[in-house]
A and B are shown apart, each in its own frame.
Chain A
Amino acid sequence: MKTNDVIIQFTAKIVFFIIFFFSIHIFMAGHYTPGGGFVGGLLTSSAIVLLVLAFDINTVRHILPINYTYLTAIGLLLALATAAFPMFVGKPFFTHFFDYFDLPLLGKQSLHTAMLFDSGVYLVVVGVTMTIIQTIGEDE
């Protein structure tokens, strides 16, 4: 029996973006308010899972042609590189740098290498969650 999922699919399309932007917000704001790479990554993947629920795994893979295993690896590399980078300029492993800049459009903002590290965390979390869900979902 083929069911008609038009309402859920339509809602999902909208809600996906809401959740996704919320996750980006939580990720970005993590340094000052509750949130961060971990929760951000989990929320992003839950947005993708919503798509998987509304459509199906192959469609979602078509929409988002991402290899999540690579995503995990990139995240780990990014985190490691951020941590290792200070060693090349004569600072101990895992030294962070930050300063305040006047950016166009955004105004005065702080830029922090911890953000890069957090992006690594974010990518790993998204990669791993989606790998697990995809693998189990495809398993017969």
Chain B
Amino acid sequence: MLQVLYIFIPMLAAIFVPFLYRRMKNIHTGWFVLAVPATLAVIYATYIAQVAKGEVFTAELPWIPSLDISIVSYLDGLSLLFSLLITGIGSLVVLYSIFYLDKHKEKLHNFYVYLLLFMSAMLGVVQSDHLITLYFFWELTSISSFLLIGYWYNRDASRFGALKSMMITVGGGLMMLGGFVLLYLMGGTYSIRELIAIAPNLVDQPLFTWSLVLLLLGAFTKSAQFPFYIWLPDAMEAPTPVSAYLHSATMVKAGIYLVARFTPIFAASELWVWLVTGVGILTLFWGSFFAVKQTDLKGILAFSTVSQLGLIMSLLGASAVAFHANDSVDTIKFAAFAAIFHLINHATFKGSLFMIAGIVDHETGTRDIRKLGGLMSIMPISFTVAAIGSLSMAGLPPFNGFLSKEMFLTAMLALQKFELFGFETWGVLFPIVAWVASIFTFIYSFYFVFRTFNGNYKPDQLPHKPHEAPMGMLISPIFLAALVVIIFFVPNFIGNTFVKPAVQAIQPFLYDTPQDVDIHVNAWHGITPELLMTIGIILIGVLLFVALPKWQGMYQRFPQSLTLNNGYDKIMQGLDVGLNRISRRYMTGSMRHYLLYMFSGIAIIVIGSLFVKDAFSLSLQGSSPIRPYEIILIVVLLIGTSITILAKSRLTAIIGLGTVGYTVALFFVIFNAPDLALTQLVIETISVALFLLAFYHLPKLGKREERMRFQLNRAIVSIAVGVMVTLVALSAHSQKLIPSISKYYEETVYSLAGGGNIVNVILVDYRGFDTLFEITVLGIAGMAILAMIKLRMNRKEKTHENK
């Protein structure tokens, strides 16, 4: 119970932020906010020791018990690791933001409310064991990140970036919801733990593949995988603390978390392995390749994040392979360990790099790498931190990136030895692509740090005179950079405490307790293929980096029209313009067209179902003999109808219509309905008189006496409707299922109702209710005509007054 409430602490704290901001003008609001993630980090840290032993903690808060929906907090190795990342890096980011955002110029209350909301949402995502609440928190991260990206809402680029990320992540989130619902339909439970327990039964179900693909769409959009990564570079318009927090350490890892969490359910599927590994490795290459093209510091980091997320994703895909692995490919077990280990490492070095990018932006006024250079002696601390982060990102010793890079290569090399799902033929591509991508990673890491801090100092191009950042701003990046180095020297402590419990959560079928994960990280692991590959990466990377000015121009050759961003713009614009055009095409504003749609729709549906359901039948049983009177009247009726349709003059048409009406009255006479005949005669007279009135008042100008134009489509639709009515009437008449109730009326009309005229007794007694409202309708019609005519006259008078 208490454990569930921890999730909501930031959300509750957010309520007080605006008050603190208004009342305590002199103290930066961030100091109050800082207490929230720091406290939570301490709380979650108390779980570490027990979770490392393999214990799990669950707490449940019922939400909608009748629908079996509750908020379940489930803390195992994986969710505890993420919770610690969220609160830990959250504290550092809040600390950094205190110095980054000016308390007088910025709307701090908005910022911290969004940030705390996001923190709650993220904690909810990683701790939820319930599919529906997981989705709830998932969308809350999308919404709060939308608000954070659009924080400077008076900038066009911010709004564009916010909208783009919203469209893509919410789109993916909806897909994921679909996947969740399918999972529920298959497994009959919303609980992820229970679904994992019955995972072997799910594999053969027909909905399995669909739920897999939909769920992956959600994970790929959130974690910026190919081709959905395009929102991440545009989200760099957010304030830098947001980029550091959301777009390096937490939100973009929600998709990673999702994939890791659902690996035990889906790992049995070949499609899962190929999709996750393939998309991951493609993203890795694509992101690292295009990172070198960027000129914006945060742009480089955004593409680098995309690429690193691809790396983690491909490792998770490879970890799913371990479910099928035989002992001959023992090294494949490294994949899950490497994924989690790199996830921690990436959070440390990417967080510090983003903060450095923010510092550079803050102190020089620009993030354009072409204007920067030679800042090494002016900002020595920032340079040191940036160098540590970048070298770790490039995968060099003595930094933690080296260790995870080695394990990544180990896992990728192991994939080609794997003899299932066609890996023996295509698996060889994985280490090659990984290696090439690592070279590009090396290049952009160097590009990032040396183009900014090394080279020529260009003071004339910088908006501000640069100087070192204040100490408060540097604390967080220094702390993270220190972690980067420390992790390198004590990888097994991190491994035993955080990584192994998480690995056990990803691969519960392989290991019973975290201690069973038999992986020991060594900085020096002998002369292995991985080490040789790393040496190759460094050699070729240095060469290419030195030659960068010679070949960077090739990026400009890449046609702009083929980029994914352009594709996104085209899709959005196409949807906007195209849908508009489609609606304009059928919403013509012409009543005739709408009637045409309606009638053709009715005719198609009714005639169609008549024949699809084989409902048409014709039996002449029970029909009366045809008498000469009826034939004569029908001929008159047909003549009247034809006159109405074919008449050249409208007057003729009105009289034709009158003929039809009187003939109908005659029909009532010969079919023994005197009440109807009386009413029909009088009503017909009145309506013909009203028609004549309308005809008399037609405007003189443009009144032409011409025959109704013949139009084939209208003729077809009218004939279809006529045929439809005839067919339905014939079928209905041919199969009477229930006898009429009129016998009851006949028997009781005198005894119960005290009358003789059945029609009138039905109208005023048996079913007087209908009559009551029919006369109401009549009254309303009369009032409406009165109002229409009188009010129009009033309006006319008013316009005269205005003149």
Give residues in A with beta carbon < 8 Å to B. Answer: 26, 30-39, 42-43, 46, 69, 72-73, 75-76, 79-80, 83, 94, 96, 98, 110, 112, 114, 117-118, 120-121, 124-125, 127-129, 131-132, 135-136, 139-140
Contact = CB atoms under 8 A, between A and B. Distances in A.
Nearest to B680: A39
Given A36-B764, A94-B769, A98-B754, A76 B775 contact: yes
Contact of A34 (B675, B764, B789): B675
B577 interface: no
Nearest to B781: A128
Given A32-B756, A128-B782, A136-B693, A79 B682 contact: no
Contacts of B790: 135
Interface in B2-59: none
B755 A112 contact: yes
A125 B757 contact: no
Contacts, number: 123
B763 interface: yes
Contacts of B679: 38-39, 42
| Residue in B754, B759, B786, B789 with the greatest tally of chain A CB atoms within 10 Å | B754
A33 B495 CA distance: 100
Contact of A35 (B754, B757, B782): B757
Contacts of A36: 675, 757, 759-760, 763-764
Given A32-B757, A34-B674, A96-B753, A75 B775 contact: yes
B291 to A, nearest CB: 78
Contacts of B764: 31, 36-37, 96, 114, 117-118, 121
Nearest to B685: A46
Contacts of B778: 124-125, 128
Contacts of A128: 778-779, 781-782
B207 interface: no
Nearest to B767: A94
B575 interface: no
A131 B779 CA distance: 10
Contacts of B759: 34, 36
Contacts of B785: 131-132, 135-136
Contacts of A79: 771-772, 775
A31 B760 contact: yes
A139 B786 CA distance: 10
| 6 A-B pairs with the lowest CB-CB distances in the bound complex, closest first | A32-B756, A128-B782, A34-B674, A98-B754, A42-B682, A124-B775
Contacts of B539: none
Given A31-B761, A34-B757, A128-B781, A83 B772 contact: yes
A46 B778 CA distance: 17
A42 B755 CA distance: 22
A30 B755 CA distance: 9
B768 interface: yes
B60 interface: no
Contacts of B690: 136
B768 A110 contact: no
B638 interface: no
27 contacts: A31-B756, A31-B764, A34-B674, A38-B763, A39-B682, A69-B783, A72-B779, A72-B783, A76-B775, A76-B776, A83-B768, A96-B753, A96-B768, A98-B753, A112-B754, A112-B755, A114-B755, A114-B764, A124-B775, A125-B775, A127-B779, A129-B686, A131-B786, A132-B782, A132-B786, A135-B786, A136-B693
